[in-house]
A and B are shown apart, each in its own frame.
Chain A
């Protein structure tokens, strides 16, 4: 067994420097690596390019890095829940690249899978396609998209072991599973770090080879963005 375990979040983020490109897993606030984000907020690291489906909310998730102006550029698909984000974007302080969600996911997966580029119909005929190679396959127009190149991928899982094997829960799998192994170094924060041999190999979602550093997060707030319920009757 090759251990990936680090003892602290401080150790996990070693080597994250100014102007790096970092992938962050999560969808909205669901499944975000909240301990690692909180630690990055404590550092003076700035000029970051962040690849993340969303940009958090004003006071949680990547919104915290935005408040401290640590982010230079966001590559996302939907940023509607964050007033500070919108302000920085409209004022030109923040560079924003909005791309279709499926394209975002596949650009992560392509990096994870060693595929340099692929064709997708998403965005054909729209401003997303501007400047991109267009090709027809089976009578339908597609545009070429490239795999992401990132320095770090930071993902969050439900359970993990010292070997770096990961299991996700519910819809918190989202981009975490696509980003694990899609950057030079993958950091995984887990709710529960268990001894090797505890997890059933049949149930592993991401094999440990995709993860370089793993640690158990100190606490998880797991904030809910839209609490919707129905009445018992």
Chain B
């Protein structure tokens, strides 16, 4: 089974040269630590910065320079700041190549739910609805099952939706799944995890063709 860092490392392999990337809060934020060697990517944060760098050194935090997770950050050479309307303008007009975000549930037609548990948790959707409605390429980083052991990879989402038919790929602690017109296709399994284990942990149907390779996590 993968750790959260391993999930981030596996997703980082999806980064391509010259990609502009938006990272959501949680596991997606960790992806920035594992950019493959030899490629140039720029990170966008929807609160209004492009060219986001690592966290500042202690004592160099600037209250006016944060990411969408409200964490203090730095900027890299070539960075720019802009307002919120402009930021979502570049998201809607698909200048951002890849969006990586977390989810509570994903369904086999690519629906995603990640903003509300009615009566329990109401934090809001933040920028997630805008991002999933506009991004061409969306990868979800999530846990395959909840704390009770129930699958979060579903035929149909049970929670209020964030977006419909938008997710392209899912990376969990157990597997890499692609969403095809026919549903979830199992692409890779986590080291030491059997196909049977993944099937047993998945409520949705899985398309399984041939031998399923193990993920390579460096």
Contact = CB atoms under 8 A, between A and B. Distances in A.
B125 A120 contact: no
A174 B126 contact: no
Nearest to B127: A101
Contacts of B55: 228-230
B109 to A, nearest CB: 11
Interface stretch (A13-21, A26-34, A195-203, A211-219): A26-34
Contacts of B127: 77, 100-102
Interface residues of A, number: 59
Interface stretch (A43-51, A63-71, A121-129): A121-129
Contact of B64 (A101, A126, A171): A171
A123 B66 CA distance: 26
Interface string A103-135: 111101100000000001111111110000000
B84 A175 contact: yes
B87 A105 contact: yes
Given A31-B64, A170-B64, A100 B125 contact: yes
Given A79-B122, A126-B162, A126-B164, A101 B70 contact: no
B24 to A, nearest CB: 12
A100, A124, A158, A175: which has the most chain B beta carbons within 10 Å?
Answer: A100
A62 B111 CA distance: 34
B63 A222 contact: yes
Nearest to B160: A127
Contacts of A109: 85
Interface stretch (B7-15, B45-53, B179-187, B193-201): B45-53
Given A122-B133, A122-B134, A126-B161, A78 B64 contact: no
B122 A105 contact: no
Nearest to A178: B85
A13 B159 CA distance: 42
B88 A226 contact: no
Nearest to B111: A125
A172 B66 CA distance: 8
A169 interface: yes
Contact of A222 (B64, B70, B88): B64
Contact of A30 (B63, B119, B134): B63
Contacts of B125: 77-78, 98-101, 128
Contact of B54 (A171, A173, A177, A230): A230
A35 to B, nearest CB: 15
A28 B85 contact: no
B83 A105 contact: yes
Contacts of B57: 229-232
B129 A126 contact: yes
A86 B123 CA distance: 8
A174 B47 contact: yes
A176 B62 CA distance: 18
A192 interface: no
A10 to B, nearest CB: 26
B92 interface: yes
B124 A224 contact: no
B5 interface: no
Contacts of A78: 123-126
8 contacts: A77-B126, A86-B122, A101-B84, A120-B92, A122-B134, A170-B81, A173-B83, A225-B70
Interface of B: 45-49, 54-58, 60-73, 81-85, 87-88, 91-92, 111, 115-116, 119, 122-130, 133-134, 160-165
Interface of A: 27-31, 53, 76-81, 86, 89-90, 96, 98-106, 108-109, 120-128, 158, 168-178, 222-232
Top 9 A-B pairs ranked by shortest CB distance? A102-B88, A102-B130, A80-B123, A125-B164, A177-B83, A170-B64, A100-B129, A105-B84, A222-B63
